[in-house]
Amino acid sequence: MDNIKSVGVTEDYNYPWIKTVGEQPLIDEGIVLEWTDEPKGSGAMNKAIREGKADLAVVLTESFIKDRIEGNPAKMIGFHVLSPLIWGIHVSSRFEWGEKDLKNHPILISRKGSGSHLMAFLLARQYGWEPGQLNFEVIGDLDGAKRAMEGDEPRIFLWEKYTTMPLVKQGLFYRVGEIPSPWPAFVTVASAHALEQYPEHVRKIRDRVYQNATSLTGSAGLPQRLSENYGIALEDIREWLTQTRWASSGQVSKQSLLSTMEILESHQLIQKAIPMEDLVDQRFVTLE
């Protein structure tokens, strides 16, 4: 048996992947599909892909594009989530906070190059802050953020709104606002090794995920399953589902890729845009 290793964050967005792994669609072809939860986010997944520790990954769009431009040999084989990611702007509930009080406080990030890192620059522009004056504190994951929020100094933390909803309801975090990503939330990425060694298996896995995403959309029992799997209240899951659209094919909008690179370049997060064809494996993706 050969193993194809896939990785993603522990969030409801990846339920079609979890379902696919449970089905083991390639077992009769001698392929075992593995899944690993990565609590440290997209920066850690890009690193795993680079180092050959993962074959497939579900990565934040902005994080992968930046990493690809900086030399990651992996390529995008499709979008996974077409709707934006809604980032909650969180602070410690131990302090009296408002949006006007955010400036000059440390911003918690999972790691450099992660979504929480890159979105901080968009937050800075939204509030008119100088990007060069941002002060980052690397905390690894959500548990690290919880520990950091217990400190004596007020801190800011950007993370997916619904994943942190239980912490907000418990009173550990206070959400002062939201900032949506100006691009589709997640891409599916394949390592150079996987694209060379297992191209048809990679295609079959991706297409099964798309099939599952399509069948799950609108499924009557889906909200309850997601609520139980991810520990998020049923009413919050239902709200999340109204805002979330999974991809169902390998069609990729040229404008989405171009716009993402333009925004990253305008924030000096990449040196320059690259041809869209260099971001994707065109055996898997139709650019439109």
The pLDDT assigned to 100 comes to 72
pLDDT tens for 95-133 read: 877 777 888 899 999 999 999 999 999 999 999 999 999
User: Is residue 74 located within the same domain as residue 107?
Assistant: no
User: Is residue 222 located within the same domain as residue 188?
Assistant: yes
Of 115, 147, 180, which residue is a domain's last? Answer: 180
Instruction: Count structural domains, the chain.
Output: 2
The pLDDT assigned to 74 comes to 98
- CA–CA separation, 58 vs 88, rounded Å? 20
Q: Taking residues 140-161, report their average pLDDT.
A: 93
For residue 1, what pLDDT band results from cuts at 50, 70 and 90? Answer: confident
User: Is residue 214 located within the same domain as residue 168?
Assistant: no
Reading phi first (left if > 0) and then psi (alpha if -120 to 50, else beta), residue 30 is in left
Q: Taking residues 23-27, report their average pLDDT.
A: 97
Mean pLDDT of the chain: 95
Range of the domain at 272: 2-84+184-287
Alpha helix ranges (H) inside 58-164: 61-69, 115-127, 142-149
For residue 151, what pLDDT band results from cuts at 50, 70 and 90? Answer: confident
Give this prediction's pTM: 0.95
Q: Taking residues 3-31, report their average pLDDT.
A: 97
Does residue 80 have a pLDDT over 90? yes
The pLDDT assigned to 257 comes to 97
The pLDDT assigned to 211 comes to 98
Of 157, 180, 203, which residue is a domain's last? Answer: 180
For residue 20, what pLDDT band results from cuts at 50, 70 and 90? Answer: very high
Of 180, 214, 245, which residue is a domain's last? Answer: 180
Does residue 84 have a pLDDT over 90? yes
The pLDDT assigned to 55 comes to 98
- CA–CA separation, 105 vs 121, rounded Å? 14
pLDDT tens for 181-227 read: 999 999 999 999 999 999 999 999 999 999 999 999 989 999 999 99
User: Is residue 73 located within the same domain as residue 114?
Assistant: no
β-bridge partners, 35:
6
Does residue 287 have a pLDDT over 80? yes
What one-character DSSP code corresponds to residue 99? Answer: G
CATH of the domain at 72: 3.40.190.10
